Structure 1
């Protein structure tokens, strides 16, 4: 049985770096499942910084929509880091996909994995109420998706100022 770990936190809370460090506790070559799509220079710079920090030993799979396929295809190839659920949710919502069904399928898939999976997600419920209907729908969807994945996770951490707070043993 694999281990599923969820790491959440606010913007720039250090959650990705914490997840990368946590990956070192698992044997095998690390696999990074990226949900981000590079659409501008600023995002390209962010991705380059993340890649440089991880190093060349990481194998990367780009999966802006099909994270379940990426998890299934990479199971047994080493521990996986899926970064991040909220970007995946954004891709689903903006593409008109059924994010609730996709979240159910992801939760089911995670329970069948043989290799460890760490998932990174943003905690969006502690901020201000978004002004637009789309922003409120996203905040609500992210909260529900995070709850679903936290419920099936073996461990959950909240990143605060680069420090992990374990909220589910």
Structure 2
């Protein structure tokens, strides 16, 4: 066996992938391509929410951005609006994937039993029903907007009281998920130090969150001008 063929035989897709990048770096589009390429049913966890007043969006430009993202996603993907409870949304998506997998496995077992019964009745060799792999892919887009919601909730002056606990909960949910998970976030720490204590705290905490999720994930990709750059492994 050659070195190349040995590497190919040992290669396996990452279970968790973290996609980082600046504004308009192509990170969301790349993450969506990864999700589509997985061949699995996709659950899209959307953290963006357009600010509203009496049910009417107050930021038309941001609402348009959200609409563009929605239109770009395949219609058969399941979309979950997460709010600030990202851990809960990830856990719910995982439970739905498990329930669908169990239902499919049960249907396959029943089909296998029917095929075996038919083969026995016809005195033929035992029929085999192929059982395909089951599972799902969860795409989280993105951590930056989620942290923004935790830090700048409507009508609140400062972060949510339990923002740190919510980050811990998401990290734990990501670690325990058995699905293919792709997480998107912004890299905003390459510029000058921002003015304002609260803004500096946000930049610091997003940097710490990115480090934490990068350490958790099997694979880390940095998007530069639409080009994926492998960071990890």
TM-score tier, shorter chain, comes to over 0.9
Post-superposition offset of 1:64: 2.1
| Correspondence 1:61-140 to 2 at 5 A | 61-75=80-94, 77=97, 78-95=136-153, 96-97=159-160, 98-140=162-204
Counterpart contact for 1:7–1:121, Cα < 8 Å: yes
**Which residue is 2:39 aligned to?**
27
CA contact (8 A) 1:103 1:148 kept: no
Secondary structure, in 3 states, of the residue corresponding to 2:176? coil
SS in 1 for 2:37: coil
Summarize the alignment of residues 143-158 of structure 1 with structure 2, pairs less than 5 Å apart. Answer: 143-158=207-222
State the shift of 1:17 in Å. 0.3
**RMSD across aligned positions (CA):** 1.4
Match in the other structure for 2:25: 13
Alignment check: 8 A CA contact 1:36 1:87 kept = yes
Q: Give TM-score scaled by structure 1 length.
A: 0.94
Q: Which moved more, 1:71-80 or 1:94-103?
A: 94-103
- The runs of 5 or more residues in structure 1 that have no matched partner are none
State the Cα deviation string for residues 26-62 of structure 1 (Å, max 9, x = none): 2322111011111221111111111111121211100
SS of the residue corresponding to residue 24 of structure 1 reads: helix
> Over alpha carbons, which structure has the higher Rg?
2
CA contact (8 A) 2:137 2:180 kept: yes
The residue number in structure 1 matching 2:70 is: 51
Q: TM-score, normalised by structure 2?
A: 0.69
More helix by share: 2
1:4 matched to which residue of 2? 16
Number of aligned pairs? Answer: 168
2: CA distance, partners of 1:145 / 1:100: 10
**Contact kept in structure 2, 1:6 and 1:120, CA below 8 Å:** yes
Matched, 1:166 2:185: no
Does the aligned pair in 1 maintain the 2:85–2:166 contact within 8 Å? no
Gaps of 5+ in 2: 1-13, 52-58, 98-135, 154-158
Deviations 1:121-166 (A, max 9, x none): 0001101211111111110000000001111100000011111101
Q: Where has structure 1 moved over 3 Å in runs of 4 or more?
A: none
